[in-house]
Structure 1
Amino acid sequence: MELKSAMEAATADLDVRPGFVGDVMAGGRRRHTRRLVALTAAVALLAGVTTGVVLTDSSSVPAVAADARLTATTEGDLSGDRAFISEAQALWGRSKSAGLRPYDNVTEFTGPSNVFWAANTPSGPAALLAQAVRVGDDPSPRVLVGLVAGGGVVQRELDRGQESGLYRFGPDSSTYLALGLGGKVFWSVNPVRGPDNRLSRTWREAETGPGGVAVVTARQSERPVFVRADNPPLPQDFGSEPLRGRFAWRPDTAFVPHPGLGWSGRQCASDSPVEGPGWPAEKAPSPRGDLHQRGLLDYVVDWDATGEWSVCAWLPDGRYAEVFEAFGELYGALYEPSGSFSAPLLGGKAVKGTPVVVPLPDGQGTIVADFDGRIGPQERIHAWLAPAGTKDVMVRHGDVSSVVPLS
C-alpha cells in the first residue's frame, strides 16, 4: 500500500483515469517484476519524460512464432562471417533505445535477437535483425526489425501490422535496403515534367536477393520513390502509396528548422466572405491531394519535401485559392465556392529571403506573401491579395521597406 500511495501522490496532477495505479498494482504476484517495469515506463511517459527508460531482457516470454525472421538462418554474402554477425548483435544489444520513439513504448526485449540478413553493400557491410519485444503491458510480443551498419544501429521499425521495410543509410544516404515482405518492390527516380506540366516516372522492379532483400543505390537529388505492389504504377500515376522508412519522418531532435522558406502556419491574403468555419460547404479543399491526382505534384516522401506553411485567399469571382511550398517550388490550386477543384497553380521557385509572388489566372490578382512582413497600402500582415493591374507592392519589415515588382 505504501508504493500505491507514493505512486498516487506522484501522479496527482496528471490526467489519468481514476484507479489507474490501483489497477496496475492489482496484478498477480508472479508478474510483479515485469509490471513494475511497465509502470515505471508509463509514469515516465505520462510525465513527459522521454529519456532514461530502462529496457530489460527476458527469456521467459515466448517469441512471436508467426514471424520467421526471429529464427531464420542468416542470408546474404556475409552469412558465414560469424565475427560480423556477433558484432552486429552486440551493437544491437548495447543500443536498446536507439531508433525507438517514446510512443513505441517498448519496455522489454523478450527473446534473443536474430540476424536474418548480412551482406556487403555500396555503403559497407550491413545486417538486418529481428527481435521479439514487449510493448507496454500488452501480453502479446511484437517484432522489432532494424538495420545495423557503420558501427551502430541505423534504424528500427516496430511491426504494427503494416511494415514499411525500407531502410536508408551510408555517408551520403544513398543506399537503400527494401524488404520484399512477400511481394514486389518497384522504384523510380528523376520525375520528368512534360509540355502539359504533368509529371511522369519510369518504374523498375527492385531485384530481391537472398532473404527477400533488395539493395538499391539512389542519390537524394534524384528523388527516389519506392512502392510495394503487384504491378508498377503507371507513368503518370502519383496516387500510389509510397514506402516511407523511419528516415522519412520529421527528426526527433527538438527545434530542427524546416528547410525551404522556413515559414510555418497558415495565413490568408484576403478575408473570408462568410462568418465562421462553414466554407466551403460541400468539400474541404485538398491542394496536395488534388495535384497528386492530376500528376502535377510529385510523390512527397521525405519530411523536408514540403514547407510547413500555406497561404489562402478568397478571390473576387467567389473562388478560393491556396498556395504552398514543395520541393523548393510554389504550388497551389483554385476551388469553386462549392469546394470542387477549379484549376492548378504552378508558381515557380521559392527563394528564401524573397517574398512569394503568385499571379492568379482570369484577372483575379496576385498573391503576395512574406511572413511577418506588412504588405500593401493597408500593411496587411503576412500576406495580401493584390488586385489585378497592380504593378508593384510595398513590403515592410520593421523600419525597412522594399518595393516588390509584380509583373
Structure 2
Amino acid sequence: MTSENDLLERSLRHAVTDVDAPADFADRVLVGGRRRRFRRRAGMATAAAAVTVLVGGLAASTPAWLAGPDSTTPADSRMSEPTRGDLAKDAAFLDKVLDRWRTESLTRLDRVAYEGKDCWAFTTPAHVHWAGNTPAGPAALVLQPARTTPGTCRIEPGTPTLLGLVGTDGKDNATHVLDVVTTGEDYTSSEVFAFGPKAATLIATEASGAKVVSPRIEVGSDGRKARRVQPLEFHDGVAVHQMAAGTYVEREFVVSAEVPDAQGRTKKHPLWISKSTHDHYTPQPQLDWPKLRGDLGGSALDAPARRMLVWNALRQSGMTDPFGPTIEDENGANWMISAGLPDGRTVIMTERFGGSSAHLYAILVPGSKEAQEKLARGERVPHTVVYGGKHDPRSGYVAVRLPDGQGWVVASYGATLRYNLGGLWVTAQGDAALLPAAATHLEITKPGAVAVVVPLT
C-alpha cells in the first residue's frame, strides 16, 4: 500500500501539472444549477445550457484527509460497497485510475474556477465504485467525499460527494479524468456521462434513475417533433450503452427517467448529461439575429411573453421536443417577427432547432390582447401553426407564405428589402416585412454585396 508520505509527495509533485480542460468545463464547475435533484431524477438535456455542479480531485496544498482527523461522514452509501464491474479485480488498472484521480481532478478544476485556487479538498480517500470495459476503452467511476473551500472561489460551501469518470482521452489515447459531477440531495447531479469517439458511449448509474436514451429529435414533414428511445440495461449498478457512430447530436441527446407514453411524450424533466469529451460538439445551425427589427405590430405582448406564446402554441400542436416539457429545455432562435394581418389576426414567426437542422414556424393567433395573454399563460386559444420547413441559415434570409391569402413574412438581418408587385418594385421599411400575397419576388441587398432576387413561390 502506498504510504501517506509517498502519496503526499506525489500529490505535491503533480499539483502544478498542466491539464487542458474542455471549453465548457468552467460553466459546469458552479455548485447549484437550475435543476435540483428531484427534477433530475424525473428525466434529462441538452442544452445546453443548464449549469452542472462540477468538483473533484487534488488540492494544490496538502489534502485534508492527510492533514488530520476529519469529521465529515460520507453521505453516499456506495463508499462502503466493494468495487463492481468486470475490471473490479484488475489491480493495475485500479491503481492507474486512482493515480490519475489524485493527480488531475482538483488541479484541473482549480484552473477553471474563475481564477480560483484550492477551491476543493479531499476529506477521505477515494473509492472506485465501478470499473469495466466499454466500447470507448476501459473506464471507471470514482467516488470521492470532498469539502469546498470557497475563499475567493465562486462556489458554495459544502461537503459534496463527487463522482468522477476516468477513461481514455481521445487526444492522447491515455487514461485521464474525463469529467466530475456531484451526488446527493443538495446538489445538481446527473451521474450520466457521454464520452469516447463522437460521444457515442453512455455510462449511467442506477442512482441516476435513467431508464431510456434518445440520441436525437426527429422532425416530420408537418413540423411535429418525435423521438425514438432505447432502454438502458443495468449490470453491477451501471448501464453501458453504445449508439451508432455519429448519432449524438449536441443539445438533442436525452436520457430520461420516465418511459414515454403512447404519443412519445414525457411529463417530467429530462436528466442533464455530463459531456466528457468536446470533439463531438455540433453548434445549432440557427440565424444569429438578436437585433432584427422584427416588431411590425399586431402583438400587445412584450418579448418574454411572446416567447411563451410561441412555445405554448408549438407545444399544444406537438411541435416541441417531447422530452423537453419546459421552455427552458427548448432550443430556439434569438429573433422573432410579429405583424398584424389583414384579417385582424397576429402572426409571430421564429426559428426552432431539431434533427440537426433549423426549422421555421409561424403562429397565427387572435389579434386581441386578452387572447394572446391567455395563450402566453398556457391556456388553449384557437391558433394556427404554419410550418415553414427546414431552413438553411447560410441563405441569410427567411420567407414563409401564410395561409388564407394573408401574405408573406420575410426578413434578412441588416439588408434592404424590396418586393415585386405587379411588375413594380416596392421598398419595404426595415429588414423584416409582411408582404402582400400577390408579391412575386423578393430582392435582398446587403451592405457591400450585390442584390439577390428570390422568387416567392
Q: TM-score if structure 1 supplies the norm length?
A: 0.72
1:191-340 alignment to 2 at 5 Å?
198-210=224-236, 212-219=237-244, 220-221=246-247, 224-229=253-258, 231-237=259-265, 239-247=267-275, 258-265=283-290, 267-273=292-298, 278-279=301-302, 285-288=308-311, 290-298=313-321, 306=331, 308-316=333-341, 317-327=344-354, 328-332=357-361, 333-336=363-366, 337=368, 338-339=371-372, 340=375
SS of the counterpart of 1:181? helix
Residue 400 of structure 2 corresponds to: 358
State the percentage of identical aligned residues. Answer: 25
Which of 118, 121, 137 is 1:108 aligned to? 121
Q: TM-score if structure 2 supplies the norm length?
A: 0.65
* Greater Cα offset, 82-91 or 237-246: 237-246
SS of the counterpart of 1:265? coil
The residue type paired with residue 345 of structure 1 is V
Q: Deviations over 1:89-131 (max 9, x none)?
A: 2222222244686389843232322210111011111111121
User: Cα offset for 1:375?
Assistant: 2.3
2:400–2:409 CA contact under 8 A, matched in 1: yes
Residue 154 of structure 1 corresponds to: 178
1:311–1:369 CA contact under 8 A, matched in 2: no
2:200–2:247 CA contact under 8 A, matched in 1: no
User: Cα offset for 1:133?
Assistant: 2.2
* Greater Cα offset, 71-80 or 107-116: 107-116
SS of the counterpart of 1:89? helix
Q: Deviations over 1:12-65 (max 9, x none)?
A: xxxxxxxxxxxxxxxxxxxxxxxxxxxxxxxxx9xxxxxxx9654211444443
* Greater Cα offset, 377-386 or 186-195: 186-195
Residue 66 of structure 1 corresponds to: 75
1:99–1:156 CA contact under 8 A, matched in 2: no
Q: Deviations over 1:66-104 (max 9, x none)?
A: 212334321110101111112112222222244686389
Q: Which runs of 5+ in 2 are unaligned?
A: 1-29, 31-57, 151-155, 169-174, 376-380, 419-425
Residue 453 of structure 2 corresponds to: 403
The residue type paired with residue 129 of structure 1 is V
Residue 181 of structure 1 corresponds to: 207
CA distance in 1, matches of 2:347, 2:272: 32
Q: Deviations over 1:250-302 (max 9, x none)?
A: x8xxxx9944145142634342357xx8559988634345434543233578x
Pair 58,169 (structure 1): closer, same or farther in 2 beyond 3 Å: same
Q: Deviations over 1:195-217 (max 9, x none)?
A: 7654444444311110x211111
Which of 371, 396, 399 is 2:413 aligned to? 371
Q: Deviations over 1:349-376 (max 9, x none)?
A: 2213212222222333222222232223
Residue 142 of structure 2 corresponds to: 129
Q: Which runs of 5+ in 1 are unaligned?
A: 1-44, 46-52
Pair 384,283 (structure 1): closer, same or farther in 2 beyond 3 Å: closer
Residue 5 of structure 1 corresponds to: none
2:215–2:247 CA contact under 8 A, matched in 1: no
User: Cα offset for 1:226?
Assistant: 1.4
CA distance in 1, matches of 2:157, 2:305: 45
SS of the counterpart of 2:335? strand
CA distance in 2, matches of 1:195, 1:325: 14
The residue type paired with residue 440 of structure 2 is K
CA distance in 1, matches of 2:255, 2:139: 20
CA distance in 2, matches of 1:64, 1:335: 57
* Greater Cα offset, 148-157 or 305-314: 305-314
The residue type paired with residue 143 of structure 2 is A
CA distance in 1, matches of 2:434, 2:81: 62
Count of residue pairs brought into register by the alignment: 346
Residue 197 of structure 2 corresponds to: 171
Residues 1:119 and 2:132 are matched in the alignment: yes
CA distance in 2, matches of 1:217, 1:185: 15
Residue 93 of structure 2 corresponds to: 84
The residue type paired with residue 347 of structure 1 is G
Residue 391 of structure 1 corresponds to: 440
Pair 234,392 (structure 1): closer, same or farther in 2 beyond 3 Å: same
Pair 344,299 (structure 1): closer, same or farther in 2 beyond 3 Å: same
SS of the counterpart of 1:331? strand
1:260–1:307 CA contact under 8 A, matched in 2: no
CA distance in 2, matches of 1:266, 1:180: 46
* Greater Cα offset, 177-186 or 86-95: 177-186
The residue type paired with residue 93 of structure 2 is F
CA distance in 2, matches of 1:99, 1:346: 44
* Greater Cα offset, 146-155 or 156-165: 156-165
